[in-house]
Chain A
Amino acid sequence: MAGASSSWRQIGIGLVLPALVVALWQTVAVMGWVNPQVLPSPLAVAEKWIAYLLPLMPYDPAAGSWLHWAVSGELVTDSLSSLYRVVVGFLIGGGLALPLGLAMGMSNRVYDWFNVLVQMVRPIPPIAYIPLSMLWFGLGNPPAIFLIALGAFFPVLMNTIAGVRQVDGIYIRAARNLGASGITMFARVILPAAVPYILSGVRIGIGTAFIVVIVAEMVAVNNGLGFRILEAREYFWSDKIIAGMISIGLIGLAIDVAMNKLNNYLLRWHRGLEN
Chain B
Amino acid sequence: MTHILVSQVNKVFQTAEREVVALKDINLEIPQGQFVCLLGPSGCGKSTLLNALAGFAPPSSGSITVDGRAVTAPGPERGMVFQEYALFPWMTVADNIAFGLQIKGQPKAQIAATVDQLLGMLSLQDFRNRYPKDLSGGMRQRVAIARVLALDSPIMLMDEPFGALDALTRRNLQDELLRIWAELKKTIIFVTHSIEEAIYLADRIVVMTYRPGTVKRDMMVALPRLRDPASAEFNALKRELGQLVMEEQQRHHHDELRMAAVD
Chain A contact residues, CB within 8 Å of chain B: 170-171, 173-180, 184, 188-189, 192-193, 195, 268-271
Contact = CB atoms under 8 A, between A and B. Distances in A.
A180 B103 contact: yes
Nearest to B130: A269
B99 A188 contact: yes
B99 A173 contact: no
Contacts of A170: 82, 84, 86
Given A173-B74, A268-B131, A270-B133, A178 B89 contact: no
Nearest to B54: A177
Contacts of B103: 178-180, 184
Contacts, number: 63
Contact of B89 (A176, A184, A188, A270): A270
Contacts of B104: 179
Contacts of A179: 75-76, 100, 103-104, 151
Contact of A173 (B76, B86, B132): B86
B76 A177 contact: yes
Contacts of B82: 170, 173-174
B90 to A, nearest CB: 4
Contacts of A268: 131
Contacts of B13: none
A249 B20 CA distance: 61
A263 to B, nearest CB: 14
Interface string B33-76: 00000000000000000000010100000000000000001111
Interface in B68-116: 73-76, 78-80, 82, 84, 86-91, 99-100, 103-104
B139 to A, nearest CB: 15
B11 interface: no
A173 B88 contact: no
A59 B111 CA distance: 61
A193 B132 CA distance: 14
Contacts of A271: 89, 133
Given A174-B82, A178-B76, A179-B104, A195 B133 contact: no
A171 B84 CA distance: 10
Contact of A192 (B78, B80, B88): B88
A174 B88 CA distance: 9
Contacts of B87: 174
> Chain B interface residue count: which class?
20 to 34
B147 interface: yes
A147 to B, nearest CB: 35
Contacts of B99: 175, 178, 180, 188
Contacts of B74: 173, 176-177
Contact of A269 (B79, B89, B147): B89
Contacts of B78: 177
Given A268-B131, A271-B133, A178 B147 contact: yes
17 contacts: A170-B82, A173-B80, A173-B82, A174-B82, A175-B99, A178-B76, A178-B147, A179-B75, A179-B100, A180-B99, A180-B103, A184-B103, A188-B88, A269-B91, A269-B131, A269-B133, A270-B90
A173 B79 CA distance: 11
A265 to B, nearest CB: 12
A175 B87 CA distance: 9
Interface in B129-180: 131-133, 147, 151
A177 to B, nearest CB: 5
B88 A171 contact: yes
A200 B177 CA distance: 41
Contacts of A180: 99, 103
A189 B86 contact: no
A270 B88 CA distance: 11
Contact of B88 (A176, A189, A195): A189
Among A174, A176, A184, A188, chain B packs the most CB atoms within 10 A around the CB of A174
A180 B76 CA distance: 9
Contacts of B75: 177, 179
A124 B104 CA distance: 48
B86 A174 contact: yes
A178 B100 contact: yes
A175 B89 CA distance: 13
Given A173-B56, A269-B133, A270-B133, A178 B151 contact: yes
